[in-house]
Amino acid sequence: MKPFRLSLTPSARAVCAGLLFAMAAGAGAAGPYPANPVRMIVPYPPGGPTDIAARMAADELAKSLGVTVVVENKAGAGGMVGADMVARARPDGATLLVNASAHVIYPAIFKEVSFDVIDSFTPVTQLVQVPLTLLVPTSLPVNNVRELIAYIKDHPGKVAFASAGNGGAPHLAGELFKKVAGVNLLHVPYKGSSPALTDLMGGQVQVMFDSMTSSLSFVKAGKLKALAVTTPERSSMLPDVPTMKESGLPSYVLTNWYGLWAPKGTPPALVAQLADALNTRFHSAAITQKLNAIGAEPVISKPEDFSRFVVKEKDSWGAIARDSGATMN
CATH number at residue 220: 3.40.190.10
Which of 177, 210, 229 is the endpoint of a domain?
229
**Domain match, 193 and 280 both:** no
Whether 111 is in a domain gets the answer: yes
pLDDT for the residue 221: 97
pLDDT for the residue 29: 42
Q: Residue 285 to residues 217, 280, 298: CA-CA distances in angstroms?
A: 21, 11, 11
Question: In which band, very low, low, confident or very high, does the pLDDT at 30 lie, cut at 50, 70 and 90?
Answer: very low
pLDDT for the residue 71: 98
Residue 187 C-alpha from the chain's centroid: 22
Question: What residue type is assigned to position 125 of the chain?
Answer: T
**Domain match, 141 and 225 both:** yes
pLDDT at 60 > cutoff 90: yes
pLDDT mean across residues, the chain = 88
User: Distance between CA atoms of 18 and 264, rounded to whole angstroms?
Assistant: 30
* pLDDT tens for each residue of 287-311: 888 888 888 888 889 999 999 999 9
Q: How many domains does the chain have?
A: 2
**Domain match, 140 and 221 both:** yes
CATH number at residue 313: 3.40.190.150
Whether 151 is in a domain gets the answer: yes
* pLDDT tens for each residue of 180-216: 999 999 999 998 888 999 999 999 999 999 989 889 9
Q: For 11-25, 45-59, 200-214, 248-262, which range has the lowest pLDDT when averaged over its residues? A: 11-25
Whether 198 is in a domain gets the answer: yes
pLDDT at 13 > cutoff 60: no
By C-alpha distance, which of 84, 77, 73 is closest to 47? 73
Whether 54 is in a domain gets the answer: yes
**Domain match, 117 and 197 both:** no
**Domain match, 170 and 96 both:** no
User: Distance between CA atoms of 270 and 260, rounded to whole angstroms?
Assistant: 13
User: Distance between CA atoms of 131 and 253, rounded to whole angstroms?
Assistant: 10
pLDDT for the residue 294: 80
Domain hosting residue 88, numbered range: 38-130+256-324
User: Distance between CA atoms of 50 and 163, rounded to whole angstroms?
Assistant: 14
**Domain match, 115 and 70 both:** yes
Which of 229, 246, 280 is the endpoint of a domain?
229
pTM, rounded to two decimals: 0.77
Sequence-separated (6 or more) residues with CB below 8 Å from residue 49: 100, 130, 164, 193, 210, 211, 212, 213, 214, 256, 258
Whether 98 is in a domain gets the answer: yes
**Domain match, 88 and 115 both:** yes
Whether 296 is in a domain gets the answer: yes
Whether 274 is in a domain gets the answer: yes
pLDDT at 327 > cutoff 80: no
Whether 9 is in a domain gets the answer: no
b/e for 220-253, b at 16 or more Cβ within 10 A?
A: eeeebbbbbbbbeebbebbeebbbbbebebeebe
